Structure 1
Amino acid sequence: MTQPTTPEGGYPSSDKDDFGPDSVFTTNPLVRDGSYIKDPWGRMRYMGPTSTWSFYQRAIATLGQRLPQDQTTPSELFAVDGSAFKLTWVALPPNGIPDLSGLPQTDHGLYMFHTVKFHLGYFSMIIDEPRFLARLHEFEMHPEEVAQSHRLWLAEYILILAFGEAFLNRPSRGDAPAGTALAARALALLPDLPQLHEEGLLSIEVLSLVALYLHCLDMRVNAFLYIGQALRLATVEGIHREIPEEAFGAELSQRCKRLWWVLYVLDRRFSSLLGAPSSIRDDDVGMTLPWESNDTSMGAALSLSIQLSRVLATIMSTVYSTSEKLDKPLLTVTKDIIHKLADIGQQVDQKLLPKTLNSSPSRMVCTITLMYHHCILHATRPFVMCLLKGYIYSEPQDRQKLHLTTSISNLLKTSTSSAMTILKTLSSLEKSQLIESFLPFDLEFLFSSAILLCIIDLVCPDYITDQNWLPSVNYLLDAIIRLGNVSARLRKAELHHLLQLLAEAKGSPGRDVELAPEIEASMLYPGDSTDVEQGDNGGSWSTVFDLDDTALDPSHLLDLALQLDREPDAEMFNFF
C-alpha cells in the first residue's frame, strides 16, 4: 500500500485550523492546497487543479488524513500517463520506404473514413475532406509514388484507419487496443519539426488527430504536447486571425476557420482535463466563427462547443486562479460562471434541441449536453472539496450538524443534478448503442460525475434523489469495458477504492460496486428485459434514461444565479 504525499508530507495541517465559516470559501482548496504528490515510485507529480485525476487524488489524500496508513492507495491504482496502454513507435528515416502492406482497398478505406467522420462529429472538420479524398484516389492509382511524395498525408490516412478499427471494435492481438498497430505505423511516418512547418495546414491537421488519438489511449501528457505543437503551428500560420475571403478565397478561408476552431476546442478541453493553463488567450484570437449565417446543426454544435470551451477557460482563470487570494470571493466568481452557462443553456434550447415531442436528440445534442453539465461540475468542484474537508476534519459527533445557506445548498444541489443528468444522458446513449468507448470524453464525464456523487453521498446524501446512481455508474463502466476501452477498467478500480475509503471515513461497511449481469439490467430498466427497445416505457428509470429527458432547463440556472446575487458571501456553512 502506498499513500501519495505532498512535499510537505500531505495536505497542510493548517487547513484544519483554517476551516471556518468565514474563511472556507475565500480561496479554492484545489488551488490553495499542496499541488504536488509523490507517486509510489518516488517521482513528484503535479496535480493540475481542474484535472479529474487530481481531484480524485486530492479526495483520496484528504480521506487519508483520518485513515490508517495501510488503508490508503495501493500502488497499482496510481494510474499515470501510459498506465492503461503505452503506444510506442520507431520513426522511419526521411529516405525510408513506407510500409504499405495490409492497407485496405479504396472502397474499404472510404468506408473507414466515413465511419470515423460519424464518430468524431464536428471534430472531423479537422480534416480537409476534398483534398484528403482526392489524394486517396490518387493513392489508389499510384500507391508507391504517393507514399513517397506525400508521406504526411499517408500518415493521416493510416491514422484514420486506426481510428476506424477502434470505432468498429475490431478484434486486436493480445491486450493492445484495436488499431494501435496501424497507429504506430502512422506515427513512424511523421517528419521532424522543421519539416512539419513546411507542410503548413496539413501538419496542423495531422498533429491534431495524433493528439486526439493519444488522448483516447489515456496518454494525456503526450496528447497535450502534440496539441500544443499544432496550436503553435496554427499561430505561426496565422489562422488564429481572420483570413479574408477577398484575398485568399472562400474555400481556404472556411477551411482555416473550421481547422482553427476545432483545434481551439481540443486545446481547451485537453488543458482542463490535464489541469494545465490554456495555450492561447481569447484576447489573442481574431478569427470569426464558421457558418455565422448558416443554420446547420453541425455549425450550431461547433458554435456552442466553442462557447462552452470559452467558459471552461474562464473557469480555469477565475475559479481556479493561482492567486493566493482571489480578486473576488469564490462564490462571486462562481456566480459569474452560472450566469454565462444559463445564457448558453438558452441557446442550446433554441438552436439545437428538437422541437417535436416525439423526436430524440442526436449524439451531437447529447455531446453538447454533457459538455454543458461538465462545466457545472468544474465550477462547483471546489465547494464539494470544501464539504469533504469539513466533514473529515470535524468530530464524528458533529458530522450530522451541517448547516448550509440556501444559496450554497442550491449550488450543490445543482452540481448534484448535473452529475445525475450526465449519468442519464450516458445511459440513454448506451441504450441506443451510441456511447463512445474509444473517444475519451464519455468516460471522463462518467468518472467526474461518479466521484462527485460519491462525496455528496457521504456528506449530503439527501441531495441525491435516486439511489440507483451507483448501479448505473457500474453498469456504464462495464459497458465501456466490454467495448474495449483500455482505461475504463482502471477508472472502475479507482472508484471502488474511493468508495471503500469513504465508507471507512463514515464508519460503515464498504459499498460493493460489483453487480451480477442479470441485476444490472433489471436495476437500470425496471420492468423491462435486457433487450429493451428504445421506445419502451417501464418503471422509474425508463423515463430517466429517455433521451428527451436530457433537455436543458436554463431557467433553473438563471434562477440560481439571481439567488446567488442576492445572498451575502460570508458564513456559507459550518459544522457546529
Structure 2
Amino acid sequence: MDKQRRVRKRVPRALADASSKRCARCRRQKVKCNGSFPCSRCTRRQVECQGDPRSGAISAEQPSAHRHAASCSRQGNPRLPVELGLPEAFSPGESPAPPLTNPLAIDCSSYSLDTNGRPVHLGTSSTWSFGRRVLRMTYEAAMHAPLPSENLLFDGTCYDLGWDEKRHPSSQVDLEVVALPSPDYAHPSGLWYIHYLLILAFGKAFVVQTSRGRKPPGADLFRLAMSLLPPAHMFVADAIHMVQILCCAALYLQCLDFRGPAYRIIGQALRLALQGGLHTEMHGQDVSDAHAQRSHRVWWTVYILDRQMSSLMGVPMAISDDAINAPLPTFPGEPRKSMTLEIQIKLSRVLARIVENTAVYGADGRLDKQFLSSTKDALKNIAGVADHLNGSFALPNNAVMRGISRVSASLHLMQHQCIVLTTRPLLYNLFESRIGGSDPSLIRTARSGSVRNLLLICIDSAQQMLTILASLQSQDILEGFLRFDLDATFAAHLTLLMAPTIDPTLIKNQSIWLKRCYSVLEYIISCGNMVAVQVKSELRHLEDILSRWPMDDEFNQGEAPQQQSSRSSLPPEGPSPKSALPQPMIVQNNFQPLEDTLQMEGLWWQEGLSSEYLINFANSIDLDSLDIL
C-alpha cells in the first residue's frame, strides 16, 4: 500500500525540473516561465520576480508579508519612467495578474520631499496625501523626472502667523489687541481671556474677506492668545476650559493648513479630556448635572474634531469607540441641535471604522475578497446613518438643491466623503495601472461587474458633493475660512479627474463638472483663502498632464462599453468663476440650472442616499470579482 502511494506521488523528472526553474509568482499562476532572473514575464508586467538572483535557482515562495513589504517599498521610491503609450498586450495563454496590493495601506510607507528636502509622510486616508501621490505618479510617468517640490502645497506654507516660538508676546503685537478687554474690569491672564481672544480671531477671519499678504485675518489675536496659554502638560486647573481653548486653537490652525500643529493640539485636548474622565458617564454624588452636561458637550466636540483631523492627516485614531461610554448631551427645547450632534457623531464613528479597517487602510491591505467584504461593511455602516440623516435633514427636492441649509449640507457632504474614502483605494490602483501601463487586464475589469459599480458610486458621491457645494455657492453660504468645504471640493475634483483616465465612459460631460469644481474654488479664493489658490494650481497641473494622456486603443476604435455611466446629467450652471485675488466677494445671482437632474438607477440624488439603496448595493457586490486580478 505504501509503495502504491509513493508511485502515485512521483512526478516525471522533466516536469519537476521545469517546475523548479519557474519563479514563485509564475508557479502560483501556473504559467510558463523561462527560468531566468528576472524572468521575462515578471519583467514585462513590471512586477517583482521571486527568483534567486545569486545562483539562478528559484527561491521558495515568499510569505505574503514579505511580498507585501516589497510591493510597498516600490510605492515609496520614485517610479521608474515609463513611456507615454499603451502597455503591451498579453498573449491569450497568460493568466491574470497576482492579487493586488493596496498602495494606500498603512504599512505602505510613502514620503514626499518638501521645499527644504525633508521627507514628509503621506498618510493613508489624507486627501492632501492622496492628491500628492496622484500628481507625483502622473508627473513622473509623463516627464520622466521627479516631481519638483517648488510651488507645491505643504503643511504651513501658505500663511505666515508671525510666531516667534516664544511664550511671550513679541514686540510686533498690535497694542490695540492688548487693550481688549479694558483692564478696569478684567485680568488678561485668565483662561477666559485667552478663550475670548481666540473667538475674536475666528470672528475677524469670518468677516474679513482678504489677507494682507501671507498674514491671515485674526493672526495677531491668535498669536497673543497662544503666547498667554499655559503649557498643557503642566496645567492642573480648569481642565474642561483648557480643552475648549485647545479645540479653538486646533480648528484655527486647521483652517490655515497648519495640519500638523492642529493635529498635535487636538491630541493634547483629547488627553486632557481623557484624564478628566470626560469620556465616561460622569455619574456620582460629587458631579453635578450641569458639570456633567458641560463635560459631555466638550467631550463630543473633541471627539469629532479628533476624528476628522486624524483622517485628514491619514494617521490611526487615538482612542477606540469601545472605550467611550459618555452619553450625548441634552439640549432642552432644541431637538434639532441634538439630532445634528447625534448624526455627526455617527458619521465620525463610520469615518473612524473606515480609516482603521485592516482590509481598507490597515496593515497588509490587499484589493481582494477581504477588501470587498470590508467595503460592503463600510457601506452598510453608512446606510445605518442614511435614513436618520434624510429624515431629519433632507435635501431640497429640486434640481439644484436651492434652499439647502448649511447644517444639512455639512452632514450630507460628510456622508459622501465617507463613501469616497471607502472606495478610493480601488480607484487609485486602477489609475496607477493605467498610468504605469503595467497590466491592461486590470483596466478591463473596470468596465463591468462589481468593480465598475464601486467606481460609479465613488464618482456619484463626488458629483453629489459638488452639487451640494454649488448650491451653497449660489446662496453665498459656501465657507471661505473653515476648511471643510475646500476639503470636500478637493476630494471630489481629484475623483472626477482620475476616473476618465481609467475609462472615459465612467463620466459624461467631464469638462462641465470640472468647470463647476473650478467655480467653487474661485469662490473660496475670492474669500481670501490662500490655501485654495495652491489647491487650484495643483489640480490645474494634474488636469493639464492628464488631458494629453493617450486614450486606450479600445476607445479610440469606438468600442462600445459594456456599461454606461449611471450619471446621465450635467451639473447645474452657476456663477462665472472669478479670477483675481484678493478682491471683495461679489454676490452673483445668475445661478441657472440645466434641465437634466442627477439620478442613479432611478434614485433621485437630491432626496439623499437611502439606507435601502446602500444595503442593496452592498449586497450586490461580488466578493470574487477581484480574484481574477
Instruction: Calculate the TM-score normalised by the size of structure 2.
Output: 0.73
In 2, Cα distance between the equivalents of 1:374 and 1:403? Answer: 21
1:197 is paired with a residue of what secondary structure?
coil
1:551 equivalent in structure 2: 607
Matched, 1:79 2:153: yes
1:514 equivalent in structure 2: none
The amino acid of 1:9's aligned partner reads N
The amino acid of 2:518's aligned partner reads N
Match of 2:255 among 213, 216, 234: 216
2:78 equivalent in structure 1: 10
Q: CA deviation at 1:238?
A: 0.9
CA contact under 8 A between 1:204 and 1:234: conserved in structure 2? Answer: yes
Match of 1:147 among 187, 205, 229: 187
2:519 equivalent in structure 1: 475
Q: CA deviation at 1:278?
A: 1.0
- Pairs within 5 Å for 1:525-540: 531-532=588-589, 538-540=593-595
Q: CA deviation at 1:161?
A: 0.8
The amino acid of 1:88's aligned partner reads G
Match of 1:335 among 354, 376, 394: 376
CA contact under 8 A between 2:480 and 2:528: conserved in structure 1? Answer: yes
Q: CA deviation at 1:390?
A: 1.9
In 1, Cα distance between the equivalents of 2:285 and 2:419? Answer: 41
1:69 equivalent in structure 2: 144
CA contact under 8 A between 1:81 and 1:219: conserved in structure 2? Answer: yes
CA contact under 8 A between 1:26 and 1:330: conserved in structure 2? Answer: no
CA-to-aligned-CA distance 1:494-545 (integer Å, 9 cap, x gap): 101111222343379xxxxxxxxxx973699xxxx984377xx64337989x
Instruction: Calculate the TM-score normalised by the size of structure 1.
Output: 0.79
1:252 equivalent in structure 2: 291
The percent of aligned pairs where both chains have the same amino acid is 30
- Tell which deviates more after alignment, 174-183 or 328-337: 174-183
CA-to-aligned-CA distance 1:202-226 (integer Å, 9 cap, x gap): 1100011000000011000000010
In 2, Cα distance between the equivalents of 1:67 and 1:165? Answer: 44
Structure with max Cα Rg = 2
Q: CA deviation at 1:103?
A: 5.0
1:493 equivalent in structure 2: 537
- Tell which deviates more after alignment, 52-61 or 439-448: 52-61
1:37 is paired with a residue of what secondary structure?
strand
The amino acid of 1:569's aligned partner reads D
Cα distance change, pair 91–558 in 1 and its aligned pair in 2 (3 A): same
Cα distance change, pair 21–228 in 1 and its aligned pair in 2 (3 A): farther
Cα distance change, pair 269–386 in 1 and its aligned pair in 2 (3 A): same
Cα distance change, pair 420–218 in 1 and its aligned pair in 2 (3 A): same
CA contact under 8 A between 1:370 and 1:422: conserved in structure 2? Answer: yes
In 1, Cα distance between the equivalents of 2:283 and 2:396? Answer: 36
Q: CA deviation at 1:401?
A: 4.8
In 1, Cα distance between the equivalents of 2:384 and 2:75? Answer: 42
In 2, Cα distance between the equivalents of 1:492 and 1:416? Answer: 20
In 1, Cα distance between the equivalents of 2:530 and 2:232? Answer: 30
Cα distance change, pair 482–332 in 1 and its aligned pair in 2 (3 A): same
The amino acid of 2:420's aligned partner reads L
Q: CA deviation at 1:348?
A: 0.5
CA contact under 8 A between 1:419 and 1:452: conserved in structure 2? Answer: yes
CA contact under 8 A between 2:97 and 2:439: conserved in structure 1? Answer: no
CA contact under 8 A between 1:268 and 1:313: conserved in structure 2? Answer: yes
- Tell which deviates more after alignment, 328-337 or 222-231: 328-337
Alpha-carbon RMSD: 3.7
Cα distance change, pair 215–484 in 1 and its aligned pair in 2 (3 A): same
1:207 is paired with a residue of what secondary structure?
helix
Q: CA deviation at 1:101?
A: 4.2
- Pairs within 5 Å for 1:119-518: 143=183, 146-150=186-190, 152-169=191-208, 171-244=210-283, 247-291=286-330, 296-318=335-357, 319-325=359-365, 329-353=370-394, 360-394=403-437, 401=444, 403-467=446-510, 468-506=512-550
CA-to-aligned-CA distance 1:355-411 (integer Å, 9 cap, x gap): 999983310010000000001111011010111022123379989855544222111
- Pairs within 5 Å for 1:556-575: 556-564=613-621, 567-571=622-626
Q: CA deviation at 1:298?
A: 1.6
- Tell which deviates more after alignment, 48-57 or 167-176: 167-176
1:511 equivalent in structure 2: none
CA-to-aligned-CA distance 1:273-294 (integer Å, 9 cap, x gap): 0111111111111211223997
CA contact under 8 A between 1:31 and 1:321: conserved in structure 2? Answer: yes
Q: CA deviation at 1:40?
A: 4.7
In 1, Cα distance between the equivalents of 2:172 and 2:192? Answer: 12
Q: Which structure features the higher share of helix residues?
A: 1
CA-to-aligned-CA distance 1:309-350 (integer Å, 9 cap, x gap): 111111111144432256961111011000111121111012
- Tell which deviates more after alignment, 284-293 or 156-165: 284-293
Q: CA deviation at 1:303?
A: 0.9
Q: CA deviation at 1:175?
A: 3.4
In 1, Cα distance between the equivalents of 2:169 and 2:525? Answer: 41
Structure 2, unpaired ranges of 5+: 1-72, 82-86, 89-93, 553-572, 579-585
CA contact under 8 A between 1:268 and 1:312: conserved in structure 2? Answer: yes
In 1, Cα distance between the equivalents of 2:462 and 2:419? Answer: 9
CA contact under 8 A between 2:280 and 2:325: conserved in structure 1? Answer: yes
In 2, Cα distance between the equivalents of 1:162 and 1:324? Answer: 44
In 1, Cα distance between the equivalents of 2:494 and 2:257? Answer: 18
2:127 equivalent in structure 1: 52
In 2, Cα distance between the equivalents of 1:93 and 1:52? Answer: 33
The amino acid of 1:539's aligned partner reads L
CA-to-aligned-CA distance 1:251-288 (integer Å, 9 cap, x gap): 11111111100110000000000111111111111211
CA contact under 8 A between 1:265 and 1:309: conserved in structure 2? Answer: yes
The amino acid of 1:322's aligned partner reads G
Cα distance change, pair 572–505 in 1 and its aligned pair in 2 (3 A): farther
Q: CA deviation at 1:145?
A: 5.6
2:125 is paired with a residue of what secondary structure?
coil
CA contact under 8 A between 2:138 and 2:545: conserved in structure 1? Answer: yes
CA contact under 8 A between 1:6 and 1:36: conserved in structure 2? Answer: no
- Tell which deviates more after alignment, 73-82 or 370-379: 73-82
Q: CA deviation at 1:93?
A: 5.9
In 1, Cα distance between the equivalents of 2:186 and 2:214? Answer: 33
In 2, Cα distance between the equivalents of 1:94 and 1:472? Answer: 46
In 2, Cα distance between the equivalents of 1:438 and 1:155? Answer: 21
In 2, Cα distance between the equivalents of 1:78 and 1:98? Answer: 29
2:217 is paired with a residue of what secondary structure?
coil
Cα distance change, pair 346–180 in 1 and its aligned pair in 2 (3 A): same
Aligned residue pairs total: 510
Match of 1:38 among 110, 113, 118: 113
1:290 is paired with a residue of what secondary structure?
coil
Matched, 1:521 2:578: no
1:264 is paired with a residue of what secondary structure?
helix
In 2, Cα distance between the equivalents of 1:20 and 1:56? Answer: 33
CA contact under 8 A between 2:446 and 2:452: conserved in structure 1? Answer: no
